[in-house]
Amino acid sequence: MQIAITGRGGQGVLFLTRILTECALRLGLEVIASETHGMAMRGGSVISTLKVGPYRGPLVRSSQADLILALDDGSIETYAHLMAPTGTMILNTPGPNSSPAIDATGLAAKTGSPLMANLILLGFALKQKKLFCDYSLAESVTGDISPERFREANLKALQVGYSTGNAEGQE
């Protein structure tokens, strides 16, 4: 499975990458991921790519991503070319969308942790069953790798995304 996680510097793309690579490891799957560090992290477009399976190189080629988790709706066009014809984009955006979408930023602000939109989006994606791992694994990994002072808020955000995914799914 080939995954891209996209957003702006500061939105927590790297943290999602850490969670998903750790999930793959615990499932005994081979995984290699590429991250954006350096200048682009200052509010510029950032992308992580994750390849789960017998791959060697960390980058995802055009039209090969099975899943894109898009944290910044302003940079969809920047990375849309990566998506496979059969792939899915899961989007953080306030308005309705043709892709599965959730207002993760709005929900995060409501829960009092504006920086947790990343985990809300991940929770939502897990509910859509578009990932190689399930909620309980992602939850235990998130708990394990979160710094102590953010652990509770991170787990809450993951839960918010997951339960919102439920409501949307029933519509």
Q: How far apart are CA 49 and CA 57, in angstroms?
A: 10
The site that binds other proteins (CB under 8 A) totals a number of residues, namely: 47
Interface with other proteins, residue 94, by CB under 8 A: no
CA distance 99 to 65: 15
21 touches other proteins (CB under 8 A): yes
Question: Is position 60 an interface residue for other proteins (rule: CB under 8 A)?
Answer: yes
Q: Where are the alpha helices (DSSP H) in the chain?
A: 13-26, 76-79, 104-110, 117-127, 135-145, 151-170
Stretch near other proteins under the rule CB under 8 A, chosen from 75-83, 96-104, 132-140, 162-170: 75-83
Q: How many CB atoms lie within 10 A of CB 46?
A: 24
> Which residue in the block uniquely carries the two structure tokens 């980058």?
59
Opening angle at CA 159, ends 79 and 131, nearest 5: 40
Residue 171 Cβ vs other proteins, minimum distance, rounded to whole Å: 27
Cβ proximity of 90 and 125 under 8 Å: yes
Identified binder of other proteins from the candidate list 94, 99, 110, 114, rule CB under 8 A: 114
In the complex, what is the shortest distance from the CB of residue 158 to other proteins, in angstroms, rounded to a whole number? 19
Measured from the CB atom, the residue of 93 and 127 that comes closer to other proteins is: 93
165 binds other proteins, rule: CB under 8 A: no
Give yes or no for residue 143 binding other proteins (CB under 8 A). Answer: no
Neighbours of 77 (CB within 10 A): 7
Residue 169 interacts with other proteins (CB under 8 A)? no
Residue 127 near other proteins by CB under 8 A: no
User: What is the spatial distance between Cα 126 and Cα 120, in angstroms, rounded to a whole number?
Assistant: 10
Instruction: Note the residues at the interface with other proteins (CB under 8 A).
Output: 8-10, 17-18, 21-22, 24-25, 30-45, 55-63, 72, 74-81, 105, 109, 114-115
